[in-house]
Amino acid sequence: MMNSLLSRNVVELLDLPNEIILAIMNKVKPQALLLSSIIGIGNNRLELLVFDKCHSIDVTSDYSGSPHRTLITRFFFNVMPRICNSIQSLIINLAHICYLDHITKLIDDNSLSNFIHLKIMTGRLYDNTGTRYTSYYYDNEFHHYPLFSTVPQLFYLNDLLAEKLVLFIHCSPFMRSIVSFEYDHDCALSVPSSDKGLFFTQSPHLTHVSITLRQFHDCVCLLNQLGSQLHSFSVSIVHVRLDENNSISQLTSIFCPNLKYLTMTIYRNILHYEQCILPLLQRLSNVEHLTLLLTVSVKGSGPDHFIDGFDLERDIILYMPQLRQLNFHIRSILRQAPHIESDTICQSFVKYEQSIDCALDYFNNKYGQCQIYSLPFIGNRLDFISNRFPLFDVKNRFSNVTILLLFDDVKSFETVFFERISRALPRLQTLEVINQLEQEEKIKTTINIIEFHHLSLLILHDIHVNYAEQFLCQSRLPCLVELIIRDDALSTIIDQNQQQAKDNCSKVETLQIVEPWIEPTNVHLNFFPCLHSKIVDQS
C-alpha cells in the first residue's frame, strides 16, 4: 500500500514542462556538469533543452581533487566536440589548454565560427578543497619601501607553462575567430618582441583585450602589434620604469586609431610616470572612455608635487579630444611633502563636469600622499589608509572595496576603527595591516566580536602584537584561508590558546611565518589543522 502511494507521488523529470526543467537546469553549477550529465545519454528532448545552455561555458571551478573531475574530463573529451559550433564564450583554467588541443583534432575548421570570447585563468585553487588562493608567493622585495604597494601578490608563470601558453595563443584554432581575449589579472605575462612574431598572430578579428603585463615595455610592444584592430584595451602593468628595451623610442610608432576604451591599472608604484605613462597616453588620442587606477611614486624622476586636476587636464585630457568619460583613482607620493589643504586639490577640478574627492595624508616617515578619485568610486582596493582617511561616510562610497592596506605610523588603530571597517567594507577579502604602535584602548572582553564575513587573506607582517590579537582572538573570520604573520605575534596567539583564535585558524590552508622566515613546526601545525592535512597529503 505504502509503495503504491509513493509511486503515485513520484514525478519523473520528463513529466515536467520545459519551463520547470529549464529552471532546474539553471541551478546546476558549474554548467559543464549539466552538459556532461545530459548530452550523450540518448534523450533528445533534454539535449535540445540543454543546447540552449551551451553559448557560454565556465569550467574554472575545476581543480585536481574535485569530486566532479570525471564529469569535467568527460565534458572536454565527449561533450565539447559536439557543441563547439554553439559556444560563443569559454572561460577555462590554464591546465585545460591541453584538452583544447585535443578537441581541435576532432573538429573541422568551421566548428568554431561562432566562438568570439576566450578567458584563461591560472587556476590557483587548493588541490584538496578548490579554494582560491592568492599569496602562495609572498613578494617581500619591496615590503619595506615607504608607501610601496605589493598586494595582491602578482605572480609569473614558470618557463614551461609560459611556453605552452604562448604556443597556444600563437597556433591554436581557438584563437582564429575570437573578438575578445582576457587573461588572469593576477598573473603577469611578457610579450615577445615583434622580431619574434606577433603575440596574437592568428587573431585578425581581435578587438578587445584584457591582460596583465610584467613590464611597461610589454605594453608598448602589444600596442604596436595590435595597432588599428584594437577597440578596447584593459591592461595592468607590474613594473613601470626606464629599461634597456628601447621602449621610449617605440612609443612614437604606436598607432591605435580605433581604440575607444582604455583602462590602465598600476598599483605597484610607478617609478617613471612622466617618462613612460604620460607619453603613452598622449599617443592614444582617439580614446573616448578612459579609466586610470595609478600609484605614482617619488622614486625615480616623478613629479615634484601631488597630482591634481590641473595635471590631468594639461598632460592627458588635452591630448584626447574625443574623450567623453574619465574615471580615475590616482595615489601620488612625495618625500618631504609640503602641507596643503584638500580644498586646494579639489579647486583644481572646478572645470570637471563630474564629482571628485581627495584625501591627503602625512606620516612620520617623512612621506606624504594624496589620493584623488572620481565619484562614484570605481576601484576595488585602497592602499595605505590611515585613521585620517575619510573611509566612513553615509553614502558608503567604498563599499565595493575588496582589498585594503592599512598603514599608520602616527596613531594606533583602535577596535572602534576596525568595527567601522567591517560595516563600511562588507565585501573585504584581502587585508594587510602595517602599524607598529601599541593600541591605546586594550580589549578586556570578547562581548563585541567583530566579524569580517568574506576576509580570506590576512597579512600581519609589520605590526604590534595587539593587531594579531585583535583579528585572531577578538574577531570572527569564517572565510580565512591564508595568513601571513610575524613569528613573535603568532607565538603569542598560540600561547594564549584561545578558542576564537583556534576557530579563525581552523580553515587556514596557507601559513607564511615571517621575521624571521621559518617553516611551520609541529606546534604551528596543531593550531592549523587544514594546513596539517594539506602537508600530509602532499608528502
DSSP state letters, 9-59: H---GGGS-HHHHHHHHHT-SSHHHHHHHHTTSS-HHHHHHHGGG-SEEE-
Asked if the structure places residue 482 within a domain, the reply is: yes
Reported as a pLDDT band with limits 50, 70 and 90, residue 538 is very low
Reported as a pLDDT band with limits 50, 70 and 90, residue 7 is very low
At 319, phi and psi to the nearest 5? -90, 0
Residue type, 322: Q
Asked if the structure places residue 488 within a domain, the reply is: yes
Average pLDDT in the 147-162 region? 81
Reported as a pLDDT band with limits 50, 70 and 90, residue 244 is low
The answer on pLDDT for 2 being more than 50 is no
- Residue ending a domain, among 114, 138, 171, is 114
Distance CA 236, CA 265 (A): 5
Reported as a pLDDT band with limits 50, 70 and 90, residue 68 is confident
Which residue's entry shows cell 611633502?
Answer: 337
Identify the CATH number of the domain in which residue 499 sits: 3.80.10
Reported as a pLDDT band with limits 50, 70 and 90, residue 177 is very high
Q: Is 116 helix (H, G, I), strand (E, B) or coil?
A: coil
Asked if the structure places residue 85 within a domain, the reply is: yes
Asked if the structure places residue 156 within a domain, the reply is: no
Reported as a pLDDT band with limits 50, 70 and 90, residue 36 is confident
For residue 6, the model assigns a pLDDT of: 37
For residue 297, the model assigns a pLDDT of: 86
For residue 8, the model assigns a pLDDT of: 46
Distance CA 132, CA 123 (A): 8
Structural domain span for residue 394: 382-539
8 A C-beta contact, residue 403 and residue 381? yes
The answer on pLDDT for 102 being more than 60 is yes
Average pLDDT in the 341-370 region? 93
Which residue's entry shows cell 602599524?
Answer: 435
Instruction: Specify the higher pLDDT residue, 282 or 27.
Output: 282
The answer on pLDDT for 157 being more than 90 is no
Q: Which residues of 395-409 are buried (b: 16+ CB within 10 A; e: fewer)?
A: eebbeebbbbbbbbb
Reported as a pLDDT band with limits 50, 70 and 90, residue 173 is very high
For residue 502, the model assigns a pLDDT of: 96
For residue 352, the model assigns a pLDDT of: 87
Reported as a pLDDT band with limits 50, 70 and 90, residue 120 is very high
Is residue 212 left, alpha or beta, with left meaning phi > 0 and alpha meaning psi from -120 to 50? Answer: beta
The answer on pLDDT for 259 being more than 90 is yes
CA separation, residue 378 to residues 329, 330, 373, 382 (Å): 8, 11, 8, 11
Q: Which residues pair with 334 in a beta bridge?
A: 368
Asked if the structure places residue 451 within a domain, the reply is: yes
At 385, phi and psi to the nearest 5? -95, 130
CA separation, residue 212 to residues 27, 134, 166, 252, 267 (Å): 33, 15, 14, 22, 12
Average pLDDT in the 73-97 region? 93
**Residue 353, C-beta contacts closer than 8 angstroms, at least 6 positions apart:** none
Asked if the structure places residue 423 within a domain, the reply is: yes
Average pLDDT in the 303-316 region? 92
Q: Tally Cβ neighbours within 10 Å of residue 1.
A: 5
- Residue ending a domain, among 71, 99, 114, is 114
- Residue ending a domain, among 54, 80, 114, is 114
Angle of the 487-496 helix axis to the 465-472 helix axis, nearest 10: 50
Average pLDDT in the 472-485 region? 96
For residue 302, the model assigns a pLDDT of: 57
Q: Supply the DSSP symbol for 244.
A: S
The answer on pLDDT for 92 being more than 50 is yes
Among 58-62, 97-101, 258-262, 386-390, the minimum mean pLDDT is found in 58-62
For residue 527, the model assigns a pLDDT of: 94
Q: Which residues pair with 514 in a beta bridge?
A: 486
Mean pLDDT of the chain: 88
For residue 494, the model assigns a pLDDT of: 96
> How many domains is the chain partitioned into structurally?
2
Instruction: Specify the higher pLDDT residue, 39 or 154.
Output: 39
Residue-wise pLDDT for 215-227, tens only, equals 999 999 999 999 9
Asked if the structure places residue 505 within a domain, the reply is: yes
Q: Is 329 helix (H, G, I), strand (E, B) or coil?
A: strand
Q: Which residues of 367-394 are buried (b: 16+ CB within 10 A; e: fewer)?
A: bbbbbbbbeebebbbbbbbbeebebeee
Among 219-233, 336-350, 431-445, the minimum mean pLDDT is found in 431-445
Record the pTM.
0.91
Q: Which helix (H) or strand (E) holds 241?
A: none
Asked if the structure places residue 493 within a domain, the reply is: yes
